[in-house]
Amino acid sequence: DAGVTQSPTHLIKTRGQHVTLRCSPISGHKSVSWYQQVLGQGPQFIFQYYEKEERGRGNFPDRFSARQFPNYSSELNVNALLLGDSALYLCASSDLAGPRVHGELFFGEGSRLTVL
Amino acid sequence: GNSVTQMEGPVTLSEEAFLTINCTYTATGYPSLFWYVQYPGEGLQLLLKATKADDKGSNKGFEATYRKETTSFHLEKGSVQVSDSAVYFCALRELTGGGNKLTFGTGTQLKVEL
């Protein structure tokens, strides 16, 4: 079975531009989470979506938005890019392991965004 | 809020040496604890986990014990190999709220030399 797939793998943007990153979860997984990993740091939680609804949001500005589609794939959008948005953006999928209990997170290889 | 503190790297060891990477946490509830590994150019992979106090997670020769009294989850391996060279992240997940948010430490880079 395919794992979590993300696209594009690498991209370069300039300040002020907009970017859309895409994620396809493992088949059967209904939850998608997004993390930002700045070089030399641990991943920081951005969003979680479950069954197409936002279930959690990290401490990121409104320039960051996301959505989940009926097939459970997801997009992360970042507007008005800043130099500090340069990072590896990781998508993770999971499913319920019990009532209101989420199972293991499976991460994709990430989309590396460079803002010039 | 929740936080995870890891020992800083890089940690450089000779092959077959003993490894310890320290991890301590702060949490308001009763978290599950995880170690993830990131090989160069790849995403994160779950290495091991523990969901309650005194649980021991283990995988591929790595072990970590959930110590509630010291709020720690140190990673150990008795004999490291060159192939273990990677960045290791300690993380916690709160059990309340039903969500799946992980709080990560800053990561510890391990280099194993022949």
Q: Where are the beta strands (DSSP E) in B1-114?
A: 3-6, 11-14, 19-21, 23-26, 32-38, 44-50, 56-59, 62-65, 75-77, 86-93, 103-104, 108-113
Q: Is A104 on the interface with B (CB under 8 A)?
A: yes
**Residue A29 and residue A96: Cα distance in Å, rounded?**
8
In this complex, the residue of A55, A106, A110 whose CB is nearest that of residue B99 is: A55
> Do the chains contact at B98 and A100, CB–CB below 8 Å?
yes
> Do the chains contact at B106 and A48, CB–CB below 8 Å?
no
> Do the chains contact at A110 and B49, CB–CB below 8 Å?
no
Position A1 scores a pLDDT of 62
Position A52 scores a pLDDT of 87
Q: Is the peptide bond before B10 cis (omega within 30 degrees of 0)?
A: yes
> Do the chains contact at A90 and B44, CB–CB below 8 Å?
yes
* Residue linked to tokens 């523990």: B50
Confidence category of residue A16, pLDDT binned at 50, 70, 90: very high
| C-alpha distances in Å from residue A19, one per residue of A24, A79, B13 | 17, 7, 41
Q: Which residues of B touch A41 (CB under 8 A)?
A: 106-107
Confidence category of residue B14, pLDDT binned at 50, 70, 90: very high
Calculate the average pLDDT of chain B.
92
Position A9 scores a pLDDT of 95
Position B35 scores a pLDDT of 97
Q: Which residues of B touch A42 (CB under 8 A)?
A: 4, 89, 91, 104-107
pLDDT at B97 over 60: no
Percent of chain B scoring above 90 in pLDDT = 77
Q: What does the pLDDT look like over B30-63, one tens digit per residue?
A: 889 999 999 988 889 999 999 889 999 999 999 9
- B51, B73 Cβ separation under 8 angstroms: no
- Shortest Cα–Cα distance, B102 to chain A (Å): 7
* Residue linked to tokens 């990290």: A58
**Residue B34 and residue A59: Cα distance in Å, rounded?**
22
In this complex, the residue of A58, A102, A107 whose CB is nearest that of residue B43 is: A107
Q: Which residues of B touch A35 (CB under 8 A)?
A: 102
Confidence category of residue B99, pLDDT binned at 50, 70, 90: low
Q: Which residues contact A5 (CB under 8 A, 6 or more apart)?
A: A23, A24, A108
Residues 30-59 of B with CB under 8 A from A: 36, 41-46, 49
pLDDT at B100 over 80: no
> Do the chains contact at B104 and A105, CB–CB below 8 Å?
no
| C-alpha distances in Å from residue B51, one per residue of A111, B44, B56 | 30, 19, 9
